[in-house]
Amino acid sequence: VFVTWASWHWIFLINIPIGVIGILYARKFMPNFTTPRRRFDITGFLLFGLSLVLFSSGIELFGEKIVATWLALAVIAVSLLLLVAYVRHARRHPAPLISLSLFKTHTFSVGIAGNLATRLGTGCVPFLMPLMLQVGFGYPAIIAGCMIAPTAIGSIIAKSTVTQVLRWFGYRKTLVGITVFIGLMIAQFSLQSPEMPLWMLLLPLFVLGMAMSTQFTSMNTITLADLTDDNASSGNSLLAVTQQLSISLGVAISAAVLRFYEGFDNASTVQQFHYTFITMGVITIVSALMFMLLRAKDGRNLISERHKR
């Protein structure tokens, strides 16, 4: 709507009033839990922050072919060196920005790795789908944007069923199964065409929204399940960073894959999108292997606590 009737700038400016409302709401309703104050790890912040910025920028530069390939790879290499420097720093610092001891918790390590791997695939959908609808199918921007609404609706509806699903299957089976299902759903977008009726485009997006909501809720809860009060805040911060990083990487990687298929002379624009969806679907299916590392009993305490409530 904003792009059609105003300008693309409003896509970002609209976040300002939403953010202000969120701050006011949080100040009024969120409980003010506090922990002992500690000195802020400025060195760790700079090393870790610059590493993330350079890594995501390098991936985007590489995928979009904005600069020479060697320069993009050099940016990625520098980011990895900074990450190694942060690890060395964190081992010596008494209170690092992100404590490495977090990764001694099995469910946290698997959850972070799973979040990073699976969102590489799922993060492409909000980017690729509107783009295919506009460029490939010829839909106007307002229609292409509204077509993503069923995903959000499905996500909201699924929230009420996640606990029951986890009670039936447990975290391990749920995450492995739902991740494979999401990968298949992403790949099936390669079957869509401009001639299809509208409901055949909307229904898969609705189902995908329900599946992604189940996956995200399960991933987030199992990641933080076994953390203590002392490191829960640090773990939650790293989880949030991982989520945003993996989504941005998913967009960058899907853009790189799409650009790769653009080099196929015999492929039409729609076919290039179809090949990209298949590729991202396969990546998502393969990422389900991360959750095979979970034990059958992992998260059982969370399920039993919710059942008591």
CB 195 within 8 A of CB 155: no
Identity of the amino acid at 206: F
What stretch of H or E contains 28? helix 15-29
Identity of the amino acid at 102: L
pLDDT at 61 > cutoff 90: no
- Give the DSSP letter of residue 135: I
Q: Give me the phi and psi of 98, to 5 degrees please.
A: -120, 115
Strands, DSSP E only, in 119-168? Answer: none
pLDDT at 1 > cutoff 70: no
Return d(Cα 1, Cα 7) in angstroms, integer.
9
pLDDT band for 305, please (50, 70, 90 cuts): low
Q: What is the pLDDT of residues 86-114, one digit of tens each?
A: 999 999 988 888 888 888 889 999 999 99
Specify the pLDDT at position 32. Answer: 77
Token output for 58: 């390098």
Residue 202, helix vs strand vs coil:
helix
pLDDT band for 124, please (50, 70, 90 cuts): confident
Specify the pLDDT at position 225. Answer: 85
CB atoms within 10 A of CB 215: 27
State the helix-helix crossing angle for 106-122 and 232-261, rounded to 10 degrees: 30
Please report, in angstroms and rounded to a whole number, the separation of the first and last CA atoms in the chain.
Answer: 42
Q: Which residues fall within 8 angstroms of residue 86, CB to CB, at 6 or more apart?
A: 44, 47, 48, 51
Token output for 16: 């300002």
Specify the pLDDT at position 147. Answer: 81
The better pLDDT of the pair 36, 218 is held by 218
CB 280 within 8 A of CB 128: yes
Q: Which pTM value belongs to this model?
A: 0.84
Return d(Cα 255, Cα 249) in angstroms, integer.
10
pLDDT at 261 > cutoff 70: yes
pLDDT band for 185, please (50, 70, 90 cuts): very high
Specify the pLDDT at position 309. Answer: 52
Judging by beta carbons within 10 Å of its beta carbon (0-12, 13-18, 19+), is residue 148 exposed, middle or buried? middle
Q: What is the pLDDT of residues 134-153, one digit of tens each?
A: 888 888 877 887 888 889 89
What is the second-level CATH architecture of the domain 98-308? Up-down Bundle (1.20)
